[in-house]
Amino acid sequence: MSNRRKFLVQLSVITAAITLPKFARSSVQADDEFVIAEAVEGKLRGIRKDGVCLFKGVPYAGRLSGDRRFKRPAKLEPWQGVRDALEFGPPAIQGDTFNPSSREDCLFLNIWTPANDGKKRPVMVYNHGGGFANGSGAAPGQDGTNLAKLFDVVVVETNHRLGLMAFLYLEDIAGPEYAGSGNNGLLDIVDGLKWVKKNIAAFGGDPGNVMIFGESGGGAKTSCLYAMPAAAPYFNKASIESGPGLRMLPKEAAMEMTKLVFQELNIDLKDWKKILDVPVKDLIDVQNKVPRLMANSDYIRKHGVVGFVPNNFAPVVDGVALPHDPFDPFAPEISKDKPLMTGWNEDEWAFFAMYSRDVGPLKSDFTFEALQAKFEPEFGADTKKIIETYRRTRPNASASDIWMAVKSINMMGLGTIAIAERKAEQHGAPVYLYNFGYKSEAKIPDTDYPFGTPHAMDITFKFNNEVPGAKPGFLSGSKPERFVASHHMAELWTTFARTGKPAAKDVPEWPAYNLNDRPTMRIDTTCEVINDRFKEELAMWRSIGRISYHPLNSR
């Protein structure tokens, strides 16, 4: 198995390390100021703190447990009186990082707003990372307070089903009641978007101006939502960040995974209802075995690796909820008129290397001969061409630098560029391509090599949580310059949410991506537009079939 596959199998666990909240104690203080908002289902009591109203653990759909397992949720029933929205709701059932506070009944969202005053502010709905198996809409790094307070927007984050609980494909064996079961996790997010459409005006938001965005697995979720008919009426623009979801699971692969689950549980397919009574912990144990079982299956031997997180539970291209792969071979026609941002971090692999403990290539004694040996299992006969190209375009780069650059663009960059190209070729709403490039000086553990711009570091930056007085992030380092880069990123994102065109003070105009100039905004303390960035490297990647472009006239 290649290093890329090894990491991706662990992707949800890795991202969850920084995306899961702590639920150990109440965050309500004796002197807190309470505020009331009235949703369609009833009144909610939240907290006003630091100039922002926060409503936590707001239910947006009904029960999932018991006979609702693997179905669409029960209807959300109205409540009498005032319901407290003071504590985060339980996260979804998690994968390898099984969380004792997790619950099947997890459909809650959190709202940060400057005021529930009837003003129509842009609404930013964030899809959390953690692959498709872990994470939460309540992680500290993605706290929406600063975006709401400093940029006058409303931020919403949902919990939704994950892993096997979210994507077990049952409709071929369980019938129409389980239609869409392979996409329940995405359809949960759609239910959250429906709730926003119906209720967000009561929280100072504009239901007619909603942006969806997400990082890593959240970027892949956003890629899918961008292609889903059920989601289309409920958002106006999107941003896919370090998580290009070009392709999802074919139905046949999803059905193979379903068969493996039932085999592990010793349940015959004709007795499928027995799975409704299986304890959650047993389901998670099986979920964690599936990638290995799939990797050794006849299906994978015949068809090759499938899925955003290889051979693992993910959205299913079922022809209905998700009619086709999100961005392969074309951008979705259903969102042709919706502006899009997409991009990746320059040193994505630094994060992956740390958590997979694959830091040998970052040591000072790592040679180009060792680089060749390191790449050959993954790139085979193309290894020499890849190294030669990067040594030519980066003559002062060390073997470690080239390892980082190649692994980073191959992991997240090539798919992101494909999305930008396929969106641009539609000649519809614009797409804006970025590279996040602020360099952290913090060292990758057990090395003297700095993180640079690793995967997931952008979360605290785009939420403007890198500010004076904030505790320095583990990834982002402690240089004060990070405050400037964070403000740039947050302002670009919130302006895009407001207008559909990213812009910020002291940042050059960001032109839409096109197939001639191919402009990319590099985001840092000083931002710059770079045309046709990585031109020679991308020509090489195309020549070996790692990135493909399908012009409209090839249909």
Residue-number span of the structural domain to which 548 is assigned = 346-554
Q: How far apart are CA 430 and CA 490, in angstroms?
A: 20
Residues 234 and 352 in one domain: no
Q: Which residue has the tokens 């068809």?
A: 303
Q: Could you list the active site residues?
A: 216
Percentage of the chain exceeding pLDDT 90? 89
CATH of the domain at 447: 3.40.50.1820
Task: Tell me whether residue 190 is in a domain.
Answer: yes
Query: How far, in Å, are 185, 294, 296, 312, 318 from residue 302 at the CA level?
Result: 28, 12, 11, 17, 21
Residues 477 and 353 in one domain: yes
Q: How far apart are CA 270 and CA 173, in angstroms?
A: 8
Residue 544 burial (10 A CB sphere; 0-12, 13-18, 19+): middle
Task: Tell me whether residue 340 is in a domain.
Answer: no
| DSSP per residue, 36-51 | EEEETTEEEEEEEETT
Residues 364 and 226 in one domain: no
Task: Tell me whether residue 275 is in a domain.
Answer: no
- Per-residue 3-state assignment (H helix, E strand, C coil) for 54-121: EEEEEECCCCCCHHHCCCCCCCCCCCCCEEECCCCCCCECCCCCCCCCCECCCCEEEEEECCCCCCCE
Residues 228 and 377 in one domain: no
Mean pLDDT for all residues in the chain: 93
Pair of tokens at residue 163: 């892993």
Cis amide prior to 329 (ω within 30 degrees): yes
Task: Tell me whether residue 389 is in a domain.
Answer: yes
The structural domain count of the chain equals: 2
The last residue of one of the domains, among 206, 241, 276, is 241
Task: Tell me whether residue 115 is in a domain.
Answer: yes
Per-residue model confidence as pLDDT tens digits over 343-366: 999 999 999 999 999 999 999 999
Residues 550 and 436 in one domain: yes
Residues 426/339, Cβ–Cβ less than 8 Å: no
Residue 25 burial (10 A CB sphere; 0-12, 13-18, 19+): exposed
The predicted pLDDT at position 12 comes to: 43
Angle at the Cα of 469 from the Cα atoms of 467 and 473, rounded to 5 degrees: 65
Per-residue model confidence as pLDDT tens digits over 489-527: 999 999 999 999 999 999 999 999 999 999 999 999 999
The last residue of one of the domains, among 186, 220, 241, is 241
The predicted pLDDT at position 7 comes to: 41
Residues in CB range of 513: below 8 A, 6 or more apart: 420, 421, 423, 424, 430, 431, 432, 433, 519, 520
Per-residue model confidence as pLDDT tens digits over 24-58: 334 566 668 999 999 999 999 999 999 999 999 99
Residues 396 and 528 in one domain: yes
The yes-or-no verdict on residue 146 having pLDDT over 70 is yes
Pick from 427, 363, 432: which is nearest to 398 by CA? 363
Average pLDDT of the segment spanning 237-254: 97
Average pLDDT of the segment spanning 431-437: 99
Q: How far apart are the first and last CA of the chain?
A: 35
The last residue of one of the domains, among 241, 274, 291, is 241
What is the band of 13 on the pLDDT scale with cuts at 50, 70, 90? very low
Q: How many helices (H) and strands (E) does the chain have?
A: 18, 17
Percentage of the chain exceeding pLDDT 70? 92
Task: Tell me whether residue 320 is in a domain.
Answer: no
Residues 219 and 361 in one domain: no
- Other CB atoms within 10 Å distance of the CB of residue 511: 16
Residues 190 and 69 in one domain: yes
| DSSP per residue, 359-412 | -GGGSTT--HHHHHHHHHHHHGGGHHHHHHHHHHH-TT--HHHHHHHHHHIIII
The yes-or-no verdict on residue 400 having pLDDT over 90 is yes
The yes-or-no verdict on residue 105 having pLDDT over 50 is yes
Q: How far apart are CA 237 and CA 429, in angstroms?
A: 9
Per-residue model confidence as pLDDT tens digits over 189-221: 999 999 999 999 999 999 999 999 999 999 999
3-state class (DSSP) for residue 555: coil
The yes-or-no verdict on residue 11 having pLDDT over 90 is no
Residues 175/272, Cβ–Cβ less than 8 Å: no
Per-residue model confidence as pLDDT tens digits over 157-177: 999 999 999 999 999 999 999
The predicted pLDDT at position 97 comes to: 54
Pick from 176, 168, 214: which is nearest to 192 by CA? 214
Average pLDDT of the segment spanning 123-128: 98
Task: Tell me whether residue 123 is in a domain.
Answer: yes
Task: Tell me whether residue 263 is in a domain.
Answer: no
Residue 176 burial (10 A CB sphere; 0-12, 13-18, 19+): exposed
The yes-or-no verdict on residue 19 having pLDDT over 60 is no
The predicted pLDDT at position 24 comes to: 34
Average pLDDT of the segment spanning 433-443: 98
